[in-house]
Amino acid sequence: MSAPGTTDPDAATSGRPAPELPPKPGPSWFAIGGTIGAIVMTVITARSVGFSFSDVWSNLSRQNSVIEGALSPDWSQIWSERSRSAFIETLQLAVLGTVVGATLALPLALWTTKFGNPNRFLRTIVRSFNNVIRSIPDLLWALIFVTAVGIGALSGLLALIFFSLAVTTKLTSDILDGIDMGPVEAANASGAGLNQMLRTAVVPQILPSYASFVLYNFELNLRASAVLGLVGAGGIGARIEFFRGRGQWEELWGLVFMFFLVVLIVERISVSLRRRLV
Amino acid sequence: MSTPAPRLPAKPIDRYKWFFTAGVVGITLWSALGLEAKWSRLLDAPSDMWTLGRVMFTNMEAADFPDLIRAMWESVAIAWVGTLIASVFAIPMSFLAAENLVGRPIAWVTRQVLNLLRAIPEVILALVFIPVFGLSPMAGVMAIGIGSIGSLGKLFYEIIEGIKDEPIEASEAVGASRLQRLRWGVLPQVTPELASLILYRFEVNIRASAVLGVVGAGGIGGDLQQALLFKDFGTAGLGLIIIVIGTIAVDTVSGAVRRRIVAGPTGGGGGSSLRPTGRLPIFSRRWATGVDTITTVAESPSPH
């Protein structure tokens, strides 16, 4: 209840000529601990992989056919019948894997949310399932499916489906966390069923982002499908593995560089499409 | 004067949308009809998977455990050292790729180099590093190291482009050299974000290094492939479980550290002033919480 100004501590200090600076705070315990932890981790891990600068240098500076092959790639591979059909198979695998995987990802993502899946127990199950499939990398999926289903493009397709499922579900459920709940409440208030609510109040909100995730996923799949063949799951990887086995590095690099050119072009197209979407 | 009910305007036809949909359907049909897969096997696939799952998870032996844990640790080590190597290259490159620090032409050239590096999958790199380094974890380390420069550099320069100009201007005004400006004007603003991104990339790289063994570049992937090849399904099953649990465990620990780095000791506002404002709304939220990431929706990163 005192009058403002008279008891204000600022007023008292304003007359002081030069305020003393507070002492500079030292680094926090977290920073110290984190730095020490990182250094210890680095020393231990470097030892367990046998890292040494001199080895890296001597190995890289030594003459070897791999790097020589990279400097003079054999472009004629592009016109060979086999490489071209492997190329097309890779593209088809990526497309189908993305379409099927990403389509399945939409309901799976919706089921991780409170409004899309009111049952808490089921929600936990769906979330754990997503976590598990996300922690298995693409090539491992391929390895598993090749063992179960046999060598061939079908294993590659199944591997890409599961890989896409994991990626798109994760990205989409992150977007779902931040949607506007207004339309959901409106739909519920007007008596919509669960599916009607999702269809009219949720899906329209996330559709542009979802579409862009699918395209992004396609880019990932295109890159992933290049290596599936290394374990026998179809696509261009089989050709790469073939040339590697015979030590034909010029041909291998010709093929790999060509593939990256295609990947970069597809990525440009995909990025411009995504920019339009969002 | 009263018009009974205002007529609704006709729903506009979104040509772009129709064009897009038709394109997707067309390409999908072409792929489905063109792909020479043994479709007859598709019907058997669920039962095949069930059989494989059963033999994998019912024949596990505790005797394999120490070896597999050692192999998983090797994967983690490959990911860690590889990520550090990538950071050493990515940090200076990201300075050269940030338009607010260097001119547009230099930034453009650096970005193209980063894009090129980003396009190469780690497994392909491992394939070419094996003849150079031998069948050893070092081939994996180099593959991860070179393969992550592109994506790390991209994440870094996006952060750098979001910083405030004032500290740089201030250091310039007191006569700082170019390097001093970087040290006092730029680095303090980006260090927490950079550290957090490096950890994030470490998480991504664990997934990559877990499979590098498939081509012989060290880590648990090799054990898994050998086990499946020699129909030693119990070992494969245990290996798979160790990969899943190990990956999730590292994600959890690293995620907690990252949140602490970005949020600051108070767990809230502390670090938020360091966040780029406005430029990357989706980005900053997602990578702090998510495992798979996408930076700006428009530009494509590669978390793999």
| Interface residue A220 vs chain B (CB under 8 A) | yes
When CB atoms are compared, the residue of A92, A219, A231 closest to B35 is: A92
What domains lie within chain A, and their CATH numbers? 29-56 (no CATH), 70-277 (1.10.3720.10)
Provide the mean pLDDT of chain A: 85
Q: Computed over its alpha carbons, how large is the radius of gyration of chain B?
A: 25
Q: What is residue B265's predicted lDDT score, i.e. its pLDDT?
A: 65
Interface test with B, best of A85, A96, A141, A147 (most B CBs within 10 A): A147
B222 neighbors B214 (Cβ within 8 angstroms): yes
| Interface residue A96 vs chain B (CB under 8 A) | yes
Instruction: Name the residue in chain B with its Cα closest to that of A128.
Output: B248
Distance, in Å, from the CA atom of A163 to the CA atom of A171, rounded to the nearest integer, reads 13
Provide the mean pLDDT of chain B: 82
String of DSSP letters for A5-70: TTS-HHHHHTT-SSPPPPPPPPPPHHHHHHHHHHHHHHHHHHHHTT--HHHHHHHHHS--HHHHHH
| Interface residue A71 vs chain B (CB under 8 A) | no
State the complex-level ipTM: 0.77
pLDDT digits (tens, 9 = 90+) for B178-221: 889 888 889 988 988 899 999 999 999 998 999 898 888 888 99
Q: What is residue B266's predicted lDDT score, i.e. its pLDDT?
A: 60
Q: What is residue B241's predicted lDDT score, i.e. its pLDDT?
A: 93
Distance, in Å, from the CA atom of A147 to the CA atom of A235, rounded to the nearest integer, reads 17
pLDDT (average), residues B236-241: 93
Q: Per-residue pLDDT for B278 more than 80? A: no
- Give the architecture (CATH level 2) of B61-289: Orthogonal Bundle (1.10)
The label of the residue with tokens 């001119």 reads: B103
pLDDT digits (tens, 9 = 90+) for A239-260: 888 888 888 888 888 888 888 8
With contacts defined as CB-CB under 8 Å, which chain A residues touch B115?
264
**Residue (of A235, A86, A140) closest to B56 by Cα position:** A140
Contact A271 B300 (CB under 8 A): yes
Interface test with A, best of B35, B84, B214, B242 (most A CBs within 10 A): B35
Confidence bin at A117 (pLDDT 50/70/90) = confident
The number of C-alpha atoms within 13 Å of A34 and in the hemisphere containing its C-beta is 16
Which range is most confident: A201-210, B262-271, B277-286? Answer: A201-210
Q: Which of residues 10-69 of B touch A (CB under 8 A)?
A: 16, 20, 24, 27-28, 30-32, 34-39, 41-42, 44-45, 48-49, 51-52
When CB atoms are compared, the residue of B41, B137, B215 closest to A154 is: B41
Which residue type, as a one-letter code, is found at position A248?
Q
Q: Per-residue pLDDT for B287 more than 50? A: no
Distance, in Å, from the CA atom of A155 to the CA atom of B72, rounded to the nearest integer, reads 25
Q: Which of residues 195-224 of B touch A (CB under 8 A)?
A: 207-208, 210-211, 214-215, 218, 221, 224
Distance, in Å, from the CA atom of A150 to the CA atom of A197, rounded to the nearest integer, reads 42
Residue A228, token pair as written in the block = 């599936």
pTM of the model: 0.79
Distance, in Å, from the CA atom of B222 to the CA atom of B215, rounded to the nearest integer, reads 7
Percent of the residues in chain A that have a pLDDT greater than 70, as a whole number:
94
Instruction: Show the beta-strand stretches assigned E in A99-167.
Output: none
Q: Per-residue pLDDT for A53 more than 50? A: yes
The label of the residue with tokens 């198979």 reads: A89
When CB atoms are compared, the residue of A50, A143, A264 closest to B119 is: A264
Instruction: Give the residue with greater pLDDT, B288 vs B235.
Output: B235
Contact A60 B297 (CB under 8 A): no
Q: What is residue B246's predicted lDDT score, i.e. its pLDDT?
A: 93
String of DSSP letters for B236-285: HHHHHHHHHHHHHHHHHHHHHHHHHHHHTTTTSGGGGGGSPPSS-HHHHH
Q: What is residue B60's predicted lDDT score, i.e. its pLDDT?
A: 86
Helices (H), B35-64: 40-58
B295 neighbors B154 (Cβ within 8 angstroms): yes
A173 neighbors A109 (Cβ within 8 angstroms): yes
Contact A276 B16 (CB under 8 A): yes
CB pairs under 8 A between A and B: 211
Distance, in Å, from the CA atom of A116 to the CA atom of A102, rounded to the nearest integer, reads 18
Residue B45 CB neighbours (<10 A):
16
Q: Per-residue pLDDT for A3 more than 60? A: no
Rounded (5°) CA angle B266-B270-B273: 165
Q: What is residue B268's predicted lDDT score, i.e. its pLDDT?
A: 45
* Residues shown for chain B: 304
pLDDT (average), residues B220-230: 91
Interface test with A, best of B214, B297, B304 (most A CBs within 10 A): B297
Q: Where do the structural domains in chain B lie, given as residue ranges?
A: 61-289
